[in-house]
Amino acid sequence: MKYKKTKINILTLNCGSSSLKYRIIRMPEEKCLVQGEAERVGIKTQGDSVITHSVLGKTRVIKLKLKDHAEALNKILSLIANDARENKEIIFDIFAHRYVHPGNFFTKPVKVNKIVLGKLKETLSLAAIHNPIIYNLIEFCNRKYKAVEQYVVFDTAFHKTIPAEFSTYALPVKLSKKYGLKKIGFHGISHQYVMEEACRFLKRDPKLQKVISCHLGTGGSSICAINRGKSFNTSMGFTPLEGLVMNTRCGDLDLGVIFYIMFKENFSPVEAENILNKKSGILGLFSSSSDLRDVVGNIDTDQKAKMAFDMYVQRVKAYLSFYVLILKKADILIFTDSLGTGVPLLRQSICANLDFLGISLDKDKNQAYQDGIAQLGSAQSQTKILVVPTNEELMIAKETYKELIKNDTRN
Amino acid sequence: MILVIEMNLKDVKFWIYKQKNMGLSHFFVKDIEEVRTSKTLKNDILNFTGSSKIEAISFRILFGGDFFDKTTVINQQFFTKFSKLTEFFPFYIPLILDMLKIFYRDFKDIPQIAFFETSFFSKLPEEEKYYAIPQEFHKDNKIKKWGFHGIYHEANSGMFPQGRKCISIVFDKQTTVCAIKDSKPLMISLGFTPLEGVMSRTSCGDLDPGIVFYLVNVHKFSIYKIDDILKNESGFLGLTGYDLELNELLKFYGKDPKVNVAFDVYQAQILKYIGEGISVLGGLDQIVFSGSQVDAFNPIIYSLIKKISFLGINTIRLPWANDKKTFQITSVDSEIKVHLNRVNLAETIFYGTEKLLHKKSSKL
Amino acid sequence: MKDLIKAKAKGLNESLVKFSRRIADCNSTGTTSEFTKLISEEMKSLNFDKVTNDKSGNLIGVIKGYENKDALVVISHLDILSPQEQRTEACLKSGVVKYKGGIVSSVYSGALVKRTLLPLTGDLIVCCIPRHECCDSGIKYLFENYLKPKLKKIRGVILCEPTDFNIHLGHKGRMEYEIIVKGRLNRNFLENKSMNMLGAMFPLISELEKASKQLPSDSNLGYSNLRIKDVRYSGYHPEDELNEFRVVVDRVFIPEENLSGILDKAKTIAKNVYKGELDITINTALAREKVKTYTGLELVSEKEFKPWVMESHHPFALESLKSLVDNGFKSSFGYWKKIITEGSYTCAELNIPTIGFGAGLEDTIDSDTESLSMDKLERAVYGQALIIQRNIGVPTFGWSSDEI
């Protein structure tokens, strides 16, 4: 009964390919003590790395060189140790990591031990950019901070409930089984968080709601149909490449195109993957930036910007309408992450002409939105339209805490 | 008499129609090698048509690329243009070119007309036509959605007045979903190749492109092998393990769990495109089903409609009367009307040819 | 696509069987022109776009590409043997294999590709090369004349030789050289040895045999080899300055060795044997022979075939192997142990990517008892067509042959 009655501080670690977001969150009250982000980690060419570090609202910005995520974490931990000298509250009891792609090995948060590490190691190739970074960090913590327990929360776990008709690819069954090929889905932590927040905001029971969550970010974008609290379908697939148009990813694409380009241009598979992952999407269409906000700024003057915007919007609309069909109308539509919360024109364009499906946005409310959770649907909209800022770190802490309590009572 | 010819990789199908709606007079199939090497092709065909004059010969052609955005009369220039499409459909174009030249040589004095399955889609809106890949590939390689089943979809689009928001679905060897308004396509499921869109008997339909790279980069598959698996070993065959035609397989729907999964996935893929169609149309007034499998697929059509009936569709229960060529399967009070169009491909081409001949003669 | 190739291959089987019989019946010691006439007529009847021959007697059949990019050269050889070389064992020892299966599979794989109408990005050039024992004049002539303008476009060469359906990537080199010892041996040397010419050669022969036990090896190709093929001498008395003797050495060697190194080493060995002898000159030289082709061309040929090894990760090798494995062949990479091929010229001299593919094993192939069964030949034709298609075919990604 270690944790049940006491408060516990969880240090959440959320790795991107070149960033590390972290928070110390006190559970169960969900109070954020420390929050920060290390940016440009391990990138050689673009100047120094930056750590933005806030303790109970006070923010510092530190410029330095960080050659990898482990070095970043080391620095962050020494910052926290300094803070702890001034304020005894600033401590942490547990590490909690977000892990991107555990294949079919894990469908719920786990405590790290040797077996778990062994299994995670087998998944490295599934997300060749993200998994190794996170894995190395977990191993690093395991080596350097033996006394601190570590938990891993999976971005894919939320999607384990997607029914077979939506998660199955029409591939030979033998092949799918051998390589675990099915819709895994990503951004699960975020989709689950905004869904729960939206229901809390509307004072509705998630178990009775049909929700569509659009996680539209400057990194990846995905959309998720949530039926009665459970993920029902999502646009990303076995990898994050499927689905919506993203900043540099193509999203859905005729596979014949891949083969054709590889043959015509004599690209190696690695080169072709690089093009579709890093040079396509918004960047491929607009060419001067991969950020949709830059596209929006040029939309009236630049034909390429208009094309990029239209394609991005149309792909979201297509999935959104598909999910309305399979949910037989949605009760709540949520926009989240940087583009979902920060670009009013995007929400307006996505919702345009969808009255037929019960979705109708209030233009004025939409324009006036500043921050926090807000309801933007028009009076006649059958579907509630909400903007909910995402907070993956809090969700990681919540999921970890749930698991802690479970383990605790079991002991 | 109008002769309609469909050439496939193995055989050639001939339909001979009497004009002015007198109907089909003959139908026969010949091995393609036999036709290619035959020295008596003309006489063989004239044996069927007898003394009546052949007004036109019309061909169904699967692919027309950028050159053929409408039905085209075959002449010398036609062959030059057509041969340039080789790289897009390498084992079809050279063979068909060869065959068309044989007919052109043997029936010099008869107008010959090419109907393309892709022409209809030359009018697709830009954002539907292209992929979110670096722009240079669109220009250099002509990578875009070519679409498919244009002959059917175009015929279906003609069934309704302008302004109606229509989704047209064709069940053939491939299944395609097309959104149409004002006789123009706004969305089509099949893309640059038949790998995109809805799964077929042996092809996978929409798939995460990341899977290709996972198999190639991590498990060292060759792209040729993957291509082979995706188009020849996947789809219904891959999911069920049963090497059956879809109408046969459908008999096991509801009885065999593997078949159930396959048809569920199939319907989910179709629903995705119906959803996409609704999003580009901004609503829905009509759904039309057509294609060679439309009769066999009545249960699938019913099941699909049931899934989206909340949009305001009242279907008549199965079985549906099947004596008429086109009929409505929704009740009068249904907000969205659903039709079956049972006119087959050869007939569609026949009607198209008659129309064209009529236009020509009125010009004279 | 494989279905299409398979289906069209079936259509060719009957004429393939007929052609194989006719070619087996044709005696290779007879006039070669008869042989080439048979092949060229077959190519014409199989609708090759162009059939021609050059002055050296090479026969060339072309399947035109729909573009003019990468060309692929398929090479088979036909052996021209003098009557005394008819014994199979002797042939194998000298690296010659009388492999008619290669001719059949080269001609018919070309015909098969043509028959499918599958477009090629460049020309497919099928060459049948008459080969005199240990003479690569034919292949040289081909590349210096007919193929010269196309050289830059050649993506690769496929040698139709026995590989048991594997892809072979090379073999050891083979050369014949002479050590010529000329002049007068003095009494000191001769005192301990026999007095005649032959006796004077023994120390050299024995040193060469010692050296043959210390030759280097290659991880893929195996050991080098040295064999004394012949000894010749003139006169009787080694002390007579007009006399000379020659040791003829048959040397099998690997890529890390080279011609001048081998000759230098031989010279050093000889010099060591006869050191202290003042009136003596020692020379080493590559053996040469004069060749007259059936077309009347006279050429001098050096008896050297270079060793060659293709990198197994070269795209040409890799794609070729994958084209087979992807379609049900249980192939792997391999190397010839005994025979020598035109790869000594195309790969070692010209640096053109070269692979070998064919039915049958190199040890057991023998034209006197045609051991290749027809279905093996058919399989070789199918495999060869797959390799051709993979390398210079326009791929049909996404479109299945089950018409849509």
Are the Cβ atoms of B135 and A287 closer than 8 angstroms? yes
Q: What is the DSSP annotation of A106-130?
A: -SS-EE--HHHHHHHHTTGGGGTTH
Q: What subunits make at least 3 CB pairs under 8 angstroms with A?
A: B, C
Residues of chain A with confidence (pLDDT) below 70? 1-5, 43-47, 410-411
Residue of B nearest to C321 (CA): B222
Return the higher-pLDDT residue of B212 and C238. B212
What is the spatial distance between Cα C237 and Cα A106, in angstroms, rounded to a whole number?
A: 91
Are the Cβ atoms of C119 and B94 closer than 8 angstroms? yes
Give the active site residues of A.
155
Mutate to test the interface with B, among C118, C325, C397 (most CBs of B within 10 A): C397
Percent of chain B at pLDDT above 90?
77
Q: What is the pLDDT of residues C206-265, one digit of tens each?
A: 999 999 999 999 999 999 999 998 888 887 776 766 778 889 999 999 999 988 999 999
Are the Cβ atoms of A263 and C395 closer than 8 angstroms? yes
HSE (side-chain half, CA atoms, 13 Å) at B193: 28
- Whether B199 and chain A come into contact, CB under 8 Å, resolves to yes
- Residue C184's pLDDT is 77
- Residue C96's pLDDT is 52
- Whether A260 and chain B come into contact, CB under 8 Å, resolves to yes
Measured CA distances, A238 to A168, B209, C202 (Å) = 10, 9, 75
Radius of gyration of chain B (CA): 21
Strands, E assignment, B117-265: 166-171, 175-181, 184-188
Percent of chain C at pLDDT above 70?
85
- Whether A240 and chain B come into contact, CB under 8 Å, resolves to yes
Residues of chain C with confidence (pLDDT) below 70? 27-32, 80-98, 132-135, 187-195, 238, 240-241, 293-294, 364-371, 401-404
- Whether A331 and chain B come into contact, CB under 8 Å, resolves to no
- Residue C138's pLDDT is 87
- Name chain B contacts of C319, Cβ cutoff 8 Å: 222
- Residue C142's pLDDT is 93
C6 Cα to chain A: minimum distance (Å): 23
Kindly tell me the sign of the dihedral angle through the C-alpha atoms of B65, B68, B74, B78.
Answer: negative
Are the Cβ atoms of C395 and B90 closer than 8 angstroms? yes
- Name chain C contacts of B199, Cβ cutoff 8 Å: none
Nearest to B284 among A240, A318, A356 (CB): A356
In one-letter notation, the amino acid at residue C237 is H
- Name chain B contacts of A326, Cβ cutoff 8 Å: 268, 271, 307
- Whether B37 and chain C come into contact, CB under 8 Å, resolves to no
- Judge whether residue B100 has pLDDT over 90: yes
Average pLDDT in the B128-153 region? 88
- Name chain C contacts of B223, Cβ cutoff 8 Å: 397
Q: A-C interface: how many C-beta pairs under 8 angstroms?
A: 12
Are the Cβ atoms of B195 and A254 closer than 8 angstroms? yes
Cis peptide before A28 (omega within 30 of 0): yes
- Whether B209 and chain C come into contact, CB under 8 Å, resolves to no
Residue of C nearest to B222 (CA): C322
- Whether B94 and chain C come into contact, CB under 8 Å, resolves to yes
**Residues in contact with C54: Cβ distance below 8 Å, sequence separation at least 6, in sequence order:** C60, C141, C142, C145, C146
Neighbours of C14 (CB within 10 A): 9
- Name chain B contacts of C1, Cβ cutoff 8 Å: 91, 228
Q: Tell me if C49 sits within 8 A of C132, measured CB to CB.
A: no
Measured CA distances, B321 to A279, B112, B265 (Å) = 53, 37, 28
Mutate to test the interface with A, among C316, C397, C400 (most CBs of A within 10 A): C397
> pTM for the whole thing?
0.89
Are the Cβ atoms of A170 and B130 closer than 8 angstroms? no
What is the spatial distance between Cα A256 and Cα B78, in angstroms, rounded to a whole number?
A: 27
- Residue A105's pLDDT is 87
- Whether B217 and chain A come into contact, CB under 8 Å, resolves to yes
Question: How high does pLDDT run on average in chain A?
Answer: 92
- Residue C287's pLDDT is 87
Kindly tell me the sign of the dihedral angle through the C-alpha atoms of A133, A135, A138, A143.
Answer: negative
- Whether A254 and chain C come into contact, CB under 8 Å, resolves to yes
What is the b/e burial string over A151-178, where b = at least 16 CB atoms within 10 angstroms of the residue's CB? bbbbbbbbbbbbeebbbbbbbbbebbee
